[in-house]
Amino acid sequence: MAKEIKFSLVYRDMWQSSGKYQPRVDQLVRVAPAIVDMGCFDRVETNGGAFEQVNLLYGENPNVSVRKWTAPFHKAGIQTHMLERGLNAIRMYPVPADVRELMFKVKKAQGTDIARSFCGLNDHRNLKLSIEFARKWGMVSQAALSITHSPVHTVDYYLKLVDQLVEYGTDEICLKDMAGVGRPTELGQIVAGIKKRHPHIKVQYHGHTGPGFSPASMLEVARAGADYLDVAVEPLSWGKVHPDVITIQQMMKADGFLVKDINMDAYMEVRRLTQEFIDDFLGYWINPTNSHMTSLLVGCGLPGGMMGSMMADLTGFKAAINASERATGKPESSLDSLMVQLFDEVEYVWPRLGYPPLVTPFSQYVKNTALMNLLARAQDKPRFSTIDKDTWGMILGKMGKLPGELAPEIREIAKEKGMEFYTGNPQNMYPDELPKFRQMMKDEGWDCGQDDEELLNMAMFERQYRDYKSGVAKERFLKDLEDLREKAGAPKVVTRQVVEMPAFDIDALVAKYPNATPLQAPVKGKMLWQVDVVDDSKAPAVGSAVKKGEAAGFVQAFYGMEEIVPAVCGRIVAVTAHQGDTVQKGQIVALVIPE
């Protein structure tokens, strides 16, 4: 009898790989029946990753969303699954063990069946508790391999990792090919090896389409014995997202596999509703280039979903790099030239940082280091002159063991700075915190919620949860949406007081103050010279003093607040970003004359 290949619709990751936000709960419950009626899915990815966090960012309760969103699939006998990041759970930085355990308890109670757990460094120690907690609270544990292509990421490397994860008790293995750069032949060999060594383990493949390998990879892993394939639907398929179910279903059928039929009327309804959600508001945060594949991703190995943010980062850095190039007598680089330079720099930086798989958050760390190297080189400074604190945490072993060896030059910089490497279990660095957060909830007079789900939000995303509870998150979201609608020429849907402020010619200002040190946005997000103030006129006055190492302003990123920290003591001579503006990573927001 022909082997059956089952499909999982990654409806969550379709959106996360495309833009900033997920659909609202009212939209999700509208599309769920049509997804069910398609008749071809045994699984649907519903939450995890950034799903819960972005709900808080636009002022919605993620607990309501998860419960209502998963319910129709349970009724239809379709399994739901979530994505979580091991040590980092469903946020971008490490989580105490007791908070991690509560997450599995809550998500199972809310209707999530399968926990897909990955460590961006493939450190099995970071996945051990995820496997144990998932099984303890009745979830299917699916441990994921972060797939990439490098001299150290061999078939044998991955099979040894699988052996360890199976020893911990995982029920399933996922090949998480987050950049789509896994080579099809090697992926097939990994699956064949898993099935030979652990025939009871189910295998699921998740591959992005950015560089174009994934359809071939899906055929290879299916032939090698994979059980499930992750797929998408239009209009959020192909490009830098995931292959569309229609193509993959037909490809599998033609190869002799048993696959379920697709109800095309239901497919077209899912397609129509998804486009409606894009047109409603979600499309304002979707970069048009996400619909494009690019072979340029093969060399650098960056996830396709990063392309939009990476180009925004380059745009933000361009003025500072061009200013440095002018000052040193070099020709100015165009944006296309900088993109090629950045890809080349990523290829240079990645092995020297120990080949961390390029997945969140480590892809951001490698890309950020490469960006700072471009700026340093434009200023005739040595590479690795600036490495941010989060990247140092990765380098020093505080997030897990790097797959490869650090370059001697990186070790020497760490030695010069008096930094110490950590070789213990990363989880041991983050003591339990639930009692503290439970007391905070009590002090605020807030209920911990059904199954302690509100407590989980507070412990996992304290800042965003407080903003949600106070209404600040909703206010910021509506303001951001209104600004984007106005830029697009859409009718106003929100009323607020706007104080008109002039635009800035940053290049002219940099030329006017050649000795000034720029203050740059550390991340993409909303510029906040003063936190929790909406008035556009709030900004530091020219002549205001700033101190080296002390926050002069903030950027509200999707995961929390980042400080803008001056590199020198001095006085502001120009402010180039308004309160509430959306700024790009590296964008100059002010100029400071050192004192």
pLDDT in tens, 441-456: 999 999 999 999 999 9
- Would you say residue 2 has pLDDT above 80? yes
DSSP three-state, residue 273: helix
Q: Give tens-digit pLDDT for 198-254.
A: 999 999 999 999 999 999 999 999 999 999 999 999 999 999 999 999 999 999 999
pTM of the model: 0.82
DSSP three-state, residue 76: coil
55-89 burial code (b ≥16 CB/10 A, e <16) = bbbbbbbbbebbbbbbebbeeeebbbbbbbbbbbb
What is the layout of strands, in order, in the sheet containing 570-575?
517-520, 588-594, 570-575, 545-546
Residue with more model confidence, 320 or 213: 213
Q: Residue 533 has what pLDDT? A: 45
Both structure tokens of 193: 């090896």
DSSP three-state, residue 335: helix
**Domain residues of the chain, as ranges?**
6-289, 296-428, 430-487, 506-594
Contacts of 238 (CB under 8 A, 6+ apart): 209, 232, 244, 291, 293
DSSP three-state, residue 406: strand
DSSP three-state, residue 149: coil
Which residues share a beta bridge with 572?
592
Q: What percent of the chain has pLDDT over 90?
A: 65
C-beta of residue 517 within 8 angstroms of C-beta of residue 581: no
C-beta of residue 474 within 8 angstroms of C-beta of residue 449: no
Biggest CA–CA distance in the chain, Å, is 79
- Would you say residue 195 has pLDDT above 80? yes
**Tally of helices (H runs) and strands (E runs) in the chain:** 22, 16
Mean pLDDT score, 567-585: 84
Give the whole-angstrom CA distance, residue 482 versus residue 492: 7
C-beta of residue 580 within 8 angstroms of C-beta of residue 534: yes
- Would you say residue 306 has pLDDT above 90? no
Which residues share a beta bridge with 116?
83, 142
Q: Residue 524 has what pLDDT? A: 79
Give the whole-angstrom CA distance, residue 269 versus residue 544: 56
Q: What are the residue ranges of helices labelled H in 471-539? A: 472-487, 506-512
CATH for the stretch 506-594: 2.40.50.100
Residue carrying the six token digits 């490397």? 157
Q: Residue 504 has what pLDDT? A: 60
Q: Give tens-digit pLDDT for 410-463.
A: 999 999 999 999 999 999 999 999 999 999 999 999 999 999 999 999 999 999
CATH topology for 6-289 is: TIM Barrel (3.20.20)
Q: Residue 538 has what pLDDT? A: 58
Q: Residue 499 has what pLDDT? A: 36
Q: Give tens-digit pLDDT for 128-180.
A: 999 999 999 999 999 999 999 999 999 999 999 999 999 999 999 999 999 99
User: What is the chain's mean pLDDT, rounded?
Assistant: 90
Give the whole-angstrom CA distance, residue 173 versus residue 458: 31
Give the whole-angstrom CA distance, residue 303 versus residue 307: 7
- Would you say residue 493 has pLDDT above 90? no
Give the whole-angstrom CA distance, residue 592 versus residue 574: 7
Using a 10 angstrom Cβ sphere, with 0-12 exposed, 13-18 middle and 19 or more buried, the burial of residue 471 is: exposed
Residue carrying the six token digits 């600004």? 483
